């Protein structure tokens, strides 16, 4: 007896292959972009970049409170309408971004880490940008658009790589160029996905506060958010500990080795949402 219908199996294979291939491309482009960044910035510049970006992303997985996975679940089960989930995500994004930015500045203060104000500002902006991209990605996967998500990610990886080459190598913007090379692609990717959902599913951002929906999404995702925070920040905690104790030169060397050794995880970790949905 064939328990799993053929159309489900074929869709799974298609989604699996498209996601796996796209993340392999992301791995190659990410490695190439990292090599350019490390070569141009040097250990000290890379240390500054590592500290700022690690601190900005340190609590993103926690403040988002597992909303991405909870969104995928409730959309996949047709518990709530897409527009209701979008409205709930907006309010969660607003409060979690505010908390994340406050924590970011607090960490910099207690660590007595000094950097140019413009670097700190754009690093802080990575927090709301990353959370918004995480939420919109949950919407994309919740409605089953894996192949389209993979296509968006590949295009964005190419754009990110070219932007790094332009800002870091040619224009020699240094650490600022590297941070902008991280921030701008996140914003463009989020915007493209939002416009796609608006066109394909008539999705609208309505600023409606429905506490019951927000509470249910948070309650379903908070435990996953805590677990994700503990798992994803194992590699970031050493940077937190080293800041203020060792030189930025040494942190830059550490981050180079850690970054390349962790690139392969991006390919396989991206496959779990397919099985989940």
- Inform me whether the pLDDT recorded for 136 exceeds 60: yes
* Residue 71 DSSP label: H
Contact, 2 vs 133, CB < 8 A?
no
Alpha-carbon span 277 to 270, nearest angstrom: 13
Residue 249 counted as domain residue: yes
Q: Which of 19-28, 99-108, 180-189, 224-233 has the highest mean pLDDT?
A: 180-189
Give the pLDDT band (50/70/90) at residue 225: confident
Q: What is the pLDDT of residue 70?
A: 86
Q: Is the model more confident about 144 or about 8? A: 144
- Inform me whether the pLDDT recorded for 218 exceeds 70: yes
Residue 45 counted as domain residue: no
Q: What is the pLDDT of residue 265?
A: 60
Alpha-carbon span 263 to 88, nearest angstrom: 33
Q: Which residue has the tokens 């905690």?
A: 237
Residue 26 counted as domain residue: no
Residue 20 counted as domain residue: no
Q: What is the mean pLDDT of residues 23-33?
A: 76
- Inform me whether the pLDDT recorded for 55 exceeds 50: yes
- Inform me whether the pLDDT recorded for 1 exceeds 50: no
- Inform me whether the pLDDT recorded for 216 exceeds 60: yes
Q: Is the model more confident about 34 or about 50? A: 50
Q: What is the pLDDT of residue 183?
A: 96
Residue 42 counted as domain residue: no
Alpha-carbon span 50 to 238, nearest angstrom: 11
Per-residue pLDDT reduced to its tens digit, 88-135: 999 999 998 998 899 899 989 988 888 899 999 999 999 999 999 989
pTM: 0.82
- Tally of structural domains, the chain: 1
Contact, 86 vs 121, CB < 8 A?
no
- Inform me whether the pLDDT recorded for 29 exceeds 90: no
Q: Which range, of 39-48, 183-192, 261-270, averages the lowest pLDDT?
A: 261-270
Residue 18 counted as domain residue: no
Give the pLDDT band (50/70/90) at residue 6: very low
Q: What is the pLDDT of residue 236?
A: 72
Contact, 156 vs 114, CB < 8 A?
no
Mean pLDDT of the chain: 82
Percent of the chain with pLDDT over 70: 81
CA 1 from chain center: how many Å? Answer: 41
Per-residue pLDDT reduced to its tens digit, 158-183: 999 999 999 999 999 999 999 999 99
Per-residue pLDDT reduced to its tens digit, 247-267: 888 888 888 777 766 665 655
Q: What is the pLDDT of residue 237?
A: 77
Q: What is the pLDDT of residue 260?
A: 65
Alpha-carbon span 274 to 277, nearest angstrom: 6
Residue 206 counted as domain residue: yes
Q: What is the pLDDT of residue 25?
A: 75
Residue 5 counted as domain residue: no
Q: Which structural domain range is residue 161 located in?
A: 53-276
């Amino acid at each position: 007896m064939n328990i799993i219908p053929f159309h489900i199996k074929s869709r799974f294979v298609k989604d699996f292959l498209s996601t796996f291939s796209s993340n392999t491309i992301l791995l190659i482009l990410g490695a190439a972009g990292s090599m350019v960044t490390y070569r141009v910035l040097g250990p000290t510049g890379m240390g500054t970049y590592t500290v700022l970006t690690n601190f900005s992303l340190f609590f993103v997985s926690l403040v988002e409170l597992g909303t991405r996975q909870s969104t995928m679940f409730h959309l996949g089960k047709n518990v709530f309408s897409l527009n209701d989930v979008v409205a709930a995500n907006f309010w969660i994004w607003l409060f979690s971004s505010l908390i994340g930015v406050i924590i970011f500045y607090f960490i910099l203060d207690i660590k007595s880490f000094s950097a140019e104000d413009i670097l700190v500002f754009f690093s802080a902006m990575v927090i709301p940008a990353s959370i918004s991209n995480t939420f919109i990605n949950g919407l994309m996967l919740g409605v089953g658009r894996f192949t389209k998500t993979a296509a968006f990610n590949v295009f964005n990886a190419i754009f990110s790589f070219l932007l790094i080459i332009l800002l870091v190598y040619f224009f020699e913007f240094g650490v600022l160029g590297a941070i902008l090379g991280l921030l701008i692609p996140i914003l463009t990717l989020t915007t493209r996905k939002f416009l796609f959902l608006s066109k394909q599913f008539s999705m609208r951002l309505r600023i409606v506060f429905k506490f019951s929906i927000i509470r249910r999404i948070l309650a379903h995702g908070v435990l996953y958010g805590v677990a994700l925070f503990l798992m994803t920040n194992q590699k970031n905690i050493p940077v937190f500990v080293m800041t203020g104790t060792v030189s930025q030169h040494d942190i830059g060397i550490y981050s180079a080795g850690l970054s390349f050794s962790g690139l392969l995880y991006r390919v396989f970790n991206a496959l779990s949402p397919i099985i989940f949905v």
